[in-house]
Amino acid sequence: MGKLDDEQLRTMLTRMAQARAIDKIITEHTKEHRFDGYWHPGEGQEAAPIGATAALRDDDYLAYHFRGSAWALGKGMPLEPVIGDIFGRTTGSTGGKGAGSPKWADPAIGLLGEGGTLGSAFVVAGGAALAIDIRGTDQVAVAAFGDATSARGTFHETLLQASVWNLPLIYFCENNHWQVATPFEAWSPTKTVAERGAAYGVPGLEVDGQDAQAVHEAMSVAVARARAGGGPTIVEAHVTRARGHYEGDLHRADMSSYRDPIDVLANRVKNADEIIKQAEADVRAEYAKALDAPVADPDILWKDVFA
């Protein structure tokens, strides 16, 4: 399915370390200043989005969810627009429209942005998969979501139609086993999200979400299947939410089985400490630049509005 070379592993480690550093910066910023909106930390879950996006091409589509910044970084967005959007600056990918829980978007790298409601990723990615099918290309579309979002009706409606039409759609679930502060077992009738695909004739894969290479391997299977015309797949990465649901939330998950995903990958990469330090320095430099950049003008709300 495509073995990762040393350069790819270094890139993955860099992006995971950048995502972790952004979480840290926002914690510091929130304590010292104000922060507009909610930030949902991705600490402990970085291997899932970075491993998954490493299996994608620039022209593959991604509709992601709100936790952390690793989805945008993994799809290839530079730090400047990532951090610019977080703080509502004009240097952001959307010019600062989506501060707080940012709505990063860049068609050039297939980043479709985040919808305003949980569960919108399913229909957005489903629509992209339909467009791929109509055009007859070998792209794929990915809907990334948390386990709790699988309770939304759009999960089932989109998966049903994608299966019927054999669309190149991949559902990627980051299952941290918490619906805010309610454990997965308390609300889910199934032990996993992946097994729900059976009702629609869709295969499901489970993977250790703390291991970026393992995630890449599982995602590569789903991508290859979609490109070959095999239809949709559910990939479920089991992760640990190392922080609260949102910045400032005091709830903590059971950490007994937690392995830091950065440490897991770093043990396989030469000069890992240097890579991590450089990533952290780059984030701090871009953070300083972002604070000096202009805040988005309220009139930007009317830009790119077509109806």
Q: Please determine, for residue 1, whether its predicted confidence score (pLDDT) is greater than 60.
A: no
Return mean pLDDT, the chain: 92
Residue predicted with more confidence, 48 or 244: 48
State the pLDDT at residue 282: 98
270 phi/psi in degrees, rounded to 5:
-70, 145
* Arch. (CATH architecture) of 6-293: 3-Layer(aba) Sandwich (3.40)
Tokens matching residue 176: 């941290």
Closest residue by Cα to residue 101 from 171, 36, 168: 36
Read off the pLDDT band of 303 (50, 70, 90). Answer: confident
**CB of 149 closer than 8 Å to CB of 118:** yes
What percentage of the chain carries pLDDT values higher than 90? 72
Residue predicted with more confidence, 234 or 65: 234
| pLDDT, tens digit (0-9, with 9 covering 90-100), for 212-234 | 999 999 999 999 999 999 999 99
Which contiguous run of DSSP H or E holds residue 25? Answer: helix 6-32
The region of weakest confidence among 3-7, 39-43, 149-153, 263-267 is 39-43
Report d(CA 284, CA 170) in Å as an integer.
34
State the pLDDT at residue 38: 78
pTM of the model: 0.94
| Cα-trace Rg, the chain | 18
